[in-house]
Amino acid sequence: MTEQMLEALAKKIKSCRNVTVLTHYHPDGDTIGAGFGLCYYLRSVGVMANVKNSEEFPAKFAYLFKDYKNQDFEEEAVISVDVADPKLLGPALESYADKVDICIDHHASNRLFAKESFIDGGCCSACLIIYDLLKTLKAKITPLMADCLYTGISTDTGCFMYESTSPEAHRAAADLIELGANASAINRSMFQIKSRGRIFAEQKMIGTMKFADSGSIALIAITNDIIDNFGVDRADLDGFAAIPLTVEGVRIGITLKQQPEDERLFKVSIRTLDADASAIAQNFGGGGHIRAAGCSISGELDEVAEKIIAVAEKYL
Amino acid sequence: MTEQMLEALAKKIKSCRNVTVLTHYHPDGDTIGAGFGLCYYLRSVGVMANVKNSEEFPAKFAYLFKDYKNQDFEEEAVISVDVADPKLLGPALESYADKVDICIDHHASNRLFAKESFIDGGCCSACLIIYDLLKTLKAKITPLMADCLYTGISTDTGCFMYESTSPEAHRAAADLIELGANASAINRSMFQIKSRGRIFAEQKMIGTMKFADSGSIALIAITNDIIDNFGVDRADLDGFAAIPLTVEGVRIGITLKQQPEDERLFKVSIRTLDADASAIAQNFGGGGHIRAAGCSISGELDEVAEKIIAVAEKYL
């Protein structure tokens, strides 16, 4: 975000009182980190502030809000963080769709639904924008705020692995570690530790991996059987979609997720190294980004696998 | 490394001509990155220089030396990088054990075997020392040198995941990306991509994971069977030792590696979250670091597993 935008945003933030910070549905490390990071900053300068989500925040992020309590005040300003579209506020917050005063986001696709939007589509994470904002505000960043912001930067860059990892992301991480972020504990819990169910479910799925086109396409299926047998939390299924593309030679990775309410319905995740994932998904009425997209297909597992592979082959 | 040490080292480096740079046996990203990074710098200022290793450098690092050719000169100076002990030079370079002029290393355990040693035991990687050295030398860092140094910093910090990841490591990574390091391609190849054999071998081993002490101890075995069946390169077995400790609740992770020349001999890797791995290994005549150690135990697989688990339980 340009310094000019940051200055303008900082000026707006300084004028806010009694703030509700909105985070997106199916909350991830970036929206949670940005939401609580901003909330703790506001509270630290005497502004009443709460963070809201349509769901409960996942327990794995509890280190960011274990001592957090909602404050009681009459809301005067609404700020959303990491929310690209009002639909992403989720069912419990949908009444906020046209009530957002300030939108802070790093998605180029942001729908500009707020009264004022501060978007940097080139930035790797909302937390990096919040960090730059707090620097502009000359905030005293506490270790807890540093944990919040480090969490979002690290999770949204795959622990500094993805192409989106900018020099600025590394420099912010350096500063946040100096400010007290528990980087290694955060990374261990975000990236390394898996539940026993998850690790065995992964093993089971890898065992059933199918290859096509001499290994350029790999497909795994997450069936209701596997989920039930290994007691895997469905919320814990993110990340499975990345597995097929980690096999050497694979350029299109496909993950089929059987739906609990209909065993003949599969949600399909498509990840690609160089092919157009979104174009593949569009063949089945889906869509997404160029390297990560999704759709839904009905049928028996084998049939669905054949269908999606037949289409994917055309995009190699 | 202190500025004073860096200045002294820079002065020494400037006086070197016809340099052999030695890297350690079983070369990893840090020794290779530091070795070639330093060599390319020396060549860039008109100094003849070669990089040597006791073995061939692994193909996965070929992007660092694909256009490298040995130069023909009479050796006048020998510099070792990332070599803590002359034994680690390996069999083909053992004649160099008492011929190293300058030793640059980040292991606190360095044996100080060289004529002059420049050691920073608190530094996460040899490549970070070389980066600081090149800055001190006001070197023009090319994209290829940046790839070398980024590779060592990233691989030795587990892609910025380990506790050893300092703010300086992040800041150096930021600079190196700006200097042209292909960070995301390097990380994808170092951390994400696995051969099909490796991924299925991993799956097989996870399937045989044993737990003890209510899940505080996890053990996997890499048998000759698994290696032969899945065509896994033994050089590709690093990293397996980290698997048991990624399971939620596990505090001691043990990996048994059956030896090809003797099926009753197992190399044991011990990784711990909080227990003293080195003390556990010492029970079997081994040793190592507090969180990562090793030993060898003879016997049938089940018997060896029982022995090491029985000892490990005492250290929880």
Domain of B39, CATH number, reads 3.90.1640.10
Segment A227-248 shows an average pLDDT of 84
**B128 and B206 both lie in a single domain:** no
Predicted confidence at residue A235, as pLDDT, reads: 67
In total, chain B counts a number of residues equal to: 316
Predicted confidence at residue A237, as pLDDT, reads: 73
Q: Do B173 and A160 touch (CB under 8 A)?
A: yes
| Rounded Cα distance, A278 and A291, in Å | 7
**B57 and B175 both lie in a single domain:** yes
**A127 and A109 both lie in a single domain:** yes
| Rounded Cα distance, B302 and B127, in Å | 41
- Would you call B184 helix, strand, or coil by DSSP? helix
Q: Tell me: the pLDDT tens digits for A245-263?
A: 999 999 999 999 999 999 9
Residue A267 is encoded by which pair of tokens?
């949600």
Selected residue of B160, B229, B273 to mutate for chain A interface (largest A Cβ count, 10 A): B160
Per-residue pLDDT at A198 exceeds 90: no
Of A234 and B37, the one with more pLDDT: B37
Closest CA in chain A for residue B193: A246
Instruction: Tell me how far CA of residue B216 lies from CA of B210, B219, B248, B316, in angstroms.
Output: 11, 10, 9, 8
**A27 and A80 both lie in a single domain:** yes
Mean pLDDT of chain B: 95
Residues in A closer than 8 angstroms to B194, CB to CB, are 246-248
Number of domains making up chain A: 2
**B186 and B210 both lie in a single domain:** no
| Rounded Cα distance, B131 and B149, in Å | 7
Predicted confidence at residue B291, as pLDDT, reads: 87
Segment A281-289 shows an average pLDDT of 91
Segment A201-211 shows an average pLDDT of 90
Segment A44-68 shows an average pLDDT of 97
Given A191, A218, A241, the domain boundary residue is: A191
- Would you call B270 helix, strand, or coil by DSSP? strand
Local confidence band at A73 (pLDDT 50, 70, 90 cut-offs): very high
Q: Do A174 and B177 touch (CB under 8 A)?
A: no
Q: Tell me: the pLDDT tens digits for B190-201?
A: 998 888 888 888
Residue-number span of the structural domain to which A69 is assigned: 3-191
Instruction: Tell me how far CA of residue A142 lies from CA of A28, A50, A170, A182, in angstroms.
Output: 21, 18, 19, 12
CB-nearest partner of B174 from A167, A193, A196: A167
**B234 and B134 both lie in a single domain:** no
Per-residue pLDDT at A312 exceeds 70: yes
A vs B: CB pairs below 8 A: 109
Considering only the C-alpha atoms of chain A, give the largest distance between any 2 of them, rounded to a whole number of Å. Answer: 62
CA distance B312 to chain A (A): 20
Q: Tell me: the pLDDT tens digits for B258-307?
A: 999 999 999 999 999 999 999 999 999 998 888 889 999 999 999 999 99
CB-CB contact of A195 with B248 (8 Å):
yes
Closest CA in chain A for residue B243: A192
Instruction: Tell me how far CA of residue A130 lies from CA of A137, B244, B294, in angstroms.
Output: 10, 36, 44
Q: Tell me: the pLDDT tens digits for A75-132?
A: 999 999 999 999 999 999 999 999 999 999 999 889 999 999 999 999 999 999 999 9
Mean pLDDT of chain A: 95
Local confidence band at B235 (pLDDT 50, 70, 90 cut-offs): low
Residue B298 is encoded by which pair of tokens?
């003879």
**A87 and A145 both lie in a single domain:** yes
**B275 and B297 both lie in a single domain:** yes
| Rounded Cα distance, B203 and B243, in Å | 11
Q: Tell me: the pLDDT tens digits for B126-156?
A: 999 999 999 999 999 999 999 999 999 999 9
Predicted confidence at residue B145, as pLDDT, reads: 98
Local confidence band at B13 (pLDDT 50, 70, 90 cut-offs): very high
Domain of B215, CATH number, reads 3.10.310.30
| Count of Cβ atoms closer than 10 Å to residue B2 Cβ | 8
Selected residue of B149, B150, B156, B165 to mutate for chain A interface (largest A Cβ count, 10 A): B165
What's the per-residue H, E or C state across chain A?
Answer: CCHHHHHHHHHHHHCCCCEEEECCCCCCHHHHHHHHHHHHHHHHCCCCEEEECCCCCCHHHHHHCCCCCCCCCCCCEEEEECCCCHHHHCHHHHHHCCCCCEEEECCCCCCCCCCEEEECCCCCCHHHHHHHHHHHCCCCCCHHHHHHHHHHHHHHCCCCCCCCCCHHHHHHHHHHHHCCCCHHHHHHHHHHCECHHHHHHHHHHHHCCEEEHHHCEEEEEECHHHHHHCCCCHHHHCCHHHCHHHECCCCEEEEEEEECCEEEEEEEEEEECCCCHHHHHHCCCCEECCCEEEEEEECCHHHHHHHHHHHHHCCC
CA distance B64 to chain A (A): 19
DSSP type of residue B275: S
CB-nearest partner of A173 from B163, B170, B178: B170
**B109 and B176 both lie in a single domain:** yes
| Count of Cβ atoms closer than 10 Å to residue A290 Cβ | 12
CB-CB contact of A187 with A210 (8 Å):
no
Lowest mean pLDDT among A91-95, A163-167, A203-207, B20-24: A203-207
Q: Do A196 and B249 touch (CB under 8 A)?
A: yes
Residue A295 is encoded by which pair of tokens?
């759709």
A218 - beta bridge partners?
A: A211, A253
From the list A58, A292, A37, A13, the residue with the least C-alpha distance to A152 is A37
CB-CB contact of A103 with A116 (8 Å):
yes
CB-CB contact of A260 with A283 (8 Å):
no
**B185 and B207 both lie in a single domain:** no
Q: Tell me: the pLDDT tens digits for A164-177?
A: 899 999 999 999 99
Selected residue of B161, B164, B175, B198 to mutate for chain A interface (largest A Cβ count, 10 A): B161
Q: Indicate the pTM of the whole model.
A: 0.90
- Helices (H), ranges, chain B: 3-14, 29-44, 126-136, 143-156, 167-178, 183-187, 196-207, 224-229, 277-282, 301-313
Of B288 and A281, the one with more pLDDT: A281
Residues in B closer than 8 angstroms to A165, CB to CB, are 177, 183-184
**B8 and B70 both lie in a single domain:** yes
CB-CB contact of B100 with B115 (8 Å):
yes
ipTM: 0.89
Q: Residue A264 — left, alpha, or beta (φ > 0 → left; ψ -120 to 50 → alpha)?
A: alpha
Given A157, A172, A191, the domain boundary residue is: A191
B258 - beta bridge partners?
A: B266
DSSP B229-251: HTT--GGGGTTGGGSGGGBTT-S
Q: Tell me: the pLDDT tens digits for B155-178?
A: 999 999 988 899 999 999 999 999
**B142 and B225 both lie in a single domain:** no
Q: Do A248 and B173 touch (CB under 8 A)?
A: no
Residues of A with CB under 8 A from a CB of B: 159-163, 165-168, 170-171, 173-175, 177-178, 183-184, 187-188, 191-196, 199-200, 202-203, 206-207, 209, 215, 245-249
Residues in B closer than 8 angstroms to A162, CB to CB, are 184
Residue A55 is encoded by which pair of tokens?
């769901």
Given B138, B172, B191, the domain boundary residue is: B191
CA distance A184 to chain B (A): 5
Q: Residue B165 — left, alpha, or beta (φ > 0 → left; ψ -120 to 50 → alpha)?
A: beta
CB-nearest partner of A206 from B168, B199, B247: B199
Residue with tokens 């065993």: A263
